[in-house]
Amino acid sequence: MPQNIIKDKNLYKILGPVSSHLVTELNKSGQSVFSLAEAAQILETDNKQVRKLLHDLVKKGWLKRIEKGKYFLIPIDVDSTKPYTENQFLIASKLIYPYYIGFWNMLHYYGYTEQLVNTIFVASPKMKKNLLLLGINYKFIKTPTKKMFGLTTIEFNGMGVQVSDKEKTLIDCLDHPEYCGGINEVVKGLWNAREEINFEKMFDYAQRISNSAVIKRMGYLLKSLEIEAQVPLGNLRNLIKKGFPSLDPSIPRKGRYNTQWNLLINVANEELLSFKRV
């Protein structure tokens, strides 16, 4: 049933004393995602009784069951029959740990692309099945622990969320263009970020990521954008290893081989740079 804005003093009449206490406490603490055990702790009762109460709240549209033993509290002022898309970063931060939000989401957050998607990309060393929650897809990308660097914290409603910083966002997108809309979005991101990112830090990140394809794509794109002076290309070329990875691994391996960067160019430069002519 749709929920309208309801004052706390009226929750008792609508939900009853126990349910209203739980909903009120969760709202006050900003605890949008919580477990069965956390609900039992708030109510100071056993899991069996709380499980039935939570089941009833799901049926009434107050909660959304995410997975076994984990629930999402639909905000009081949100119509539970419609997709809820606000604070999805906050929700993602409660779904897995350790984690960080990056790729296409942060490319957009930093203003390096105008493209907005209804998927939240969550990197973590742990494996987790993707979720569809209230109209938003949560995609979990298994990421080696050694790649869990270059992170910063941003705040939403007074709560911190771990995300990739500007330079790491671009490096991650060079590492996995398929998680940011393809290499066309990466080259656009590099161009839009060129005056505010620290290229020395980006060069350091490119070495730490331990993927020669990142070095190759980075060098080729910086040269194509004519901003190669920001990073000495000779230093990049010294790090090149054997093999010809695709410029864009998300599309078929058809194109020409660039021996300067040991890269299969499967996206024409005219297409890569077309955004500059718009």
The per-residue pLDDT for range 137-173, each reduced to its tens digit, is: 999 999 999 999 999 999 876 778 999 999 999 999 9
DSSP codes, 214-259: HHHHHHHHHHHTT-GGGS-HHHHHTT--SS--BSSTTS-S-SEEET
pLDDT at 218 over 90: yes
Domain membership of residue 1 (yes or no) is no
Contact between 66 and 54 (Cβ < 8 Å):
no
**Distances 265 to 185, 216, 252 between C-alpha atoms, Å:** 16, 11, 11
The per-residue pLDDT for range 65-83, each reduced to its tens digit, is: 888 888 988 866 555 454 4
Domain membership of residue 78 (yes or no) is no
pLDDT at 23 over 80: yes
* Ranges of H-type helices in the chain: 8-15, 17-29, 36-43, 47-59, 88-93, 104-109, 166-175, 183-193, 199-208, 212-224, 233-237, 269-272
In whole angstroms, give the CA distance from residue 217 to residue 219.
6
The average pLDDT across 195-208 equals 93
- pLDDT tier, 48 (very low <50, low <70, confident <90, very high otherwise): confident
> Last residue of a domain, which of 31, 50, 73?
73
Q: Answer with the residue of higher pLDDT: 81 or 127.
A: 127
Domain enclosing residue 34, as ranges: 8-73
Looking at the fold, whether 51 and 134 belong to one and the same domain comes out as no
Percent of the chain with pLDDT over 90: 60
Domain membership of residue 148 (yes or no) is yes
Task: Find how far residue 267's CA is from the centre of its chain.
Answer: 26
User: What is the count of structural domains for the chain?
Assistant: 2
